[in-house]
Structure 1
Amino acid sequence: MGNKKILVIGSCNTDMVIKSDRLPIPGETVIGGTFLMNAGGKGANQAVAAARQGGKVTFVSKTGNDVFGKQSIELYNAEGINTDFIFSDAKNSSGVALIMVDSHGENCIAVASGANGSLVPDDIEKAKNELDAADYVLMQLEIPMETVEYAAELAWKKGTPVILNPAPARTLSDKLLKCLFLVTPNETEAEILSGIKVFDFNSAKQAADIISNKGVPNVVITMGAMGAFIKENDEYSLVEATKVDAIDTTAAGDCFSGTLVVGLSEGKTIQEAVRTASKASSITVTRMGAQSSIPYRNELQLIENGLSK
């Protein structure tokens, strides 16, 4: 098992979920739901996924000085994640998502980003030694773009591969793309980055070429049940998705990214790492919740050995 250092920079949230028969209309109160509280946030989900796959993970994030922030840090410590660079913000609350889900699985979500929005380049400076020591840097887009760009440039100058999961979907500057080793958009995000609607191998290839021409040598487009399209320098391939009955797709993309970076840190090719990441996220979608649904390495090994379904 590789012991290369993975630095995840990103968001952490607490998801508060009420499941009820139906969603209330404005001004209405619906009684009789069940309440769940889950740890979430794309950065935290990816850090947990990488740690559960055996990665040596440091997480750079920001929480409020409140019960949610303290609880999050306890959870990450229990996963074996280095939390020395999770900063506390005295002015803002920890990130929170309020989620309502009805009996058909329809949901409505309100997110208060809180302290996630105040993770600034100065915080990255405070973690600079950690960034310098990292073998891989993994980021997403639930923190300010200037922070993502700042960290990516520092890592790029150092020659450290940066992997970006460009979610939630938004446009990216060519300056940022030039600093990346690998970008992992889904179909929607790939369309925003390339202008090409992605629906099959050929359209994925077109989109990947356009994204790659902006400076990223490697592009992995995740296409749900169709699998994952890979452009590795000038080679193209498709890794088929594992067929499962999905019940909740929350954190599937985050599980994919966290598992992928561990595979790369252990010397796997991009194609091998994508194959493992794809299997891990296929487990995630068969379970409810965000971090609670992310598999451990031994569960993945059982599936890879054909001992479990």
Structure 2
Amino acid sequence: MSSIVILGIFVADTAYRAERIPRLGETILGKSFNLSPGGKGSNQAVAAAKAGANAHMITRLGTDTFADMAIDVWQKAGVTPAITQHDNSYTGAACIFIEAETGNNAIIVTPGVAGEIDNSDIDRNADLIANADIFITQLEQPLEVAMYGLELARKKGVRTLLNPAPAADLPDGMLALCDFVTPNETEAEGLTGIKVTSVASATDAAQALRASGAGAAIITLGENGALYHDADTTIHMPAMSSGKVIETTGAGDSFNGSFAAALAEGMTPVDAVKFGCAAAGISVTRAGAANSMPSRAEIDARLAQG
């Protein structure tokens, strides 16, 4: 089984569905509430494990109810924790607004003790990273630790994937440590200054990311699929619908985790992008983030439909 190591955070997602976001000072009635596991790193670990990879999660948790939730969801998904627990802070949480009509979302994340992740978390798991097929990180934990992890993985010959979310200015040289970088439209614009509104502009942004050092760039385009660009190939992969969109929360994480799982087991990058699009297309038909990640059997069945 292929091995993937994910550096990131877990948060408990508190999701509120309503017609619109309230204005400051205003209270409105919502349509529903849901408490579920989230955090980009954790979601990607769950997605990778359910897609068939041996996924390991590096993070910090508190010693509270939300930490119990994290450990439980990882156990059920098949994720191996590589964590420490701390009683001086809390396990992370997120406030998610979901627009009732469209399923689109806006999110506030508070990392809690995972915001204190430092280079010692990487050093403690150096052998785990060195023996992985792929190392994945995002930008919800301290950025300098993400870079340190990418540097270690690159030194050990491990393929690296950066999901640059939430959007942030990257230090010089960070993209050069990435075999794959996977921003969405907004994040790609923040990194390149190119507004992504079409496949053509996504291609321009992907070219700019490669010019900054990334080995390959994948711009995820929501309902329009994904754009893949490397030194030899540029291809637009359409979205793969699996039914009515219920919620887009976690779709990008579903793509990243399943893309990495496919890549780690030997698929070509283009086939892995298609695999990721199939997984993301299933995930948006379900509520929640980690809870929406499809199984390998579901992804294979969707791909078989063409």
Structure 1 partner of 2:235: 237
Name the % identity: 37
Residue 253 (1) aligns with residue 262 (2) = no
Matched, 1:287 2:273: no
Change (3 A) 1:206 1:293: same
Tell me which residue corresponds to 2:176.
178
- Partner in structure 1 of residue 40 of structure 2: 42
Alpha-carbon shift at residue 232 of structure 1 (Å) = 2.1
Q: Paired residue for 1:93?
A: 90
1:249 is matched by which residue type in structure 2?
A: T
Following superposition of structure 1 onto structure 2, how do residues 21-60 of structure 1 map, counting pairs within 5 Å? 34-60=32-58
SS in 2 for 1:237: strand
Bigger radius of gyration among the two: 1
**Partner Cα separation in structure 1 for residue 224 and residue 132 of structure 2:** 33
2:305 aligned with 1:303: no
Q: Deviations over 1:275-297 (max 9, x none)?
A: 01001101111111111111101
Aligned-residue offset at 1:229: 1.0
Partner of 1:187: 185
8 Å contact kept, 1:232–1:270: no
Query: C-alpha displacement at 1:27, in angstroms?
Result: 5.7
Preserved CA contact (<8 Å) 1:174 1:215: no
* CA distance in structure 1 between the aligned counterparts of 2:55 and 2:104, rounded to whole angstroms: 34
Pairs aligned (count) = 304
| 1:133-163: CA deviation from partner (whole Å, max 9, x where unpaired) | 1111011111000110000001111111110
Residue 240 to residue 103, structure 1, CA distance change in 2 (3 Å): closer
- Pairwise CA RMSD: 2.1
CA distance in 1, matches of 2:205, 2:15: 36
1:274 aligns with 2:289: no
1:63 corresponds to which of 61, 64, 76: 61
Structure 2 distance, partners of 1:227, 1:110, is 25
Which residue identity is paired with 2:248?
T
**Which residue does 2:220 correspond to in 1?**
222
| C-alpha displacement of 1:226 | 2.2
The answer to whether the Cα contact below 8 Å between 2:104 and 2:249 also exists between their aligned partners in 1 is no
1:247/1:35 CA distance change after superposition, 3 Å = closer
* Contact 1:101 1:107 survives alignment (8 Å): yes
* Residues 242 and 120 of structure 1, relative CA distance in 2, 3 Å threshold: same
Distance in 2, Cα, partners of 1:46 & 1:169? 17
> Which sections of structure 2, spanning at least 5 residues, go unmatched?
none
Shift in Å, 1:33: 6.0
Does the CA-based 8 Å contact 1:8-1:43 persist in structure 2?
yes
- Cα distance change, pair 229–102 in 1 and its aligned pair in 2 (3 A): closer
Gap change, CA 1:269 and 1:35, over 3 Å in 2:
same
Displacement of 1:35 in angstroms is 3.5
Does structure 1 conserve the Cα–Cα contact (< 8 Å) formed by 2:104 and 2:247?
no
Partner Cα separation in structure 2 for residue 174 and residue 109 of structure 1: 28
Query: Aligned pair in 2 of structure 1 residues 47, 27: CA closer, same or farther (>3 Å)?
Result: same
Distance 1:143 1:24, change over 3 A: same
Residue deviations 1:244-290 (CA, integer Å, cap 9, x gap): 43221000000000000011111111100000100110111111111
Write the mapping of 1:99-138 to structure 2, written as runs, cut at 5 A: 99-101=96-98, 103-104=100-101, 109-138=107-136
- TM-score normalised according to structure 2 size: 0.92
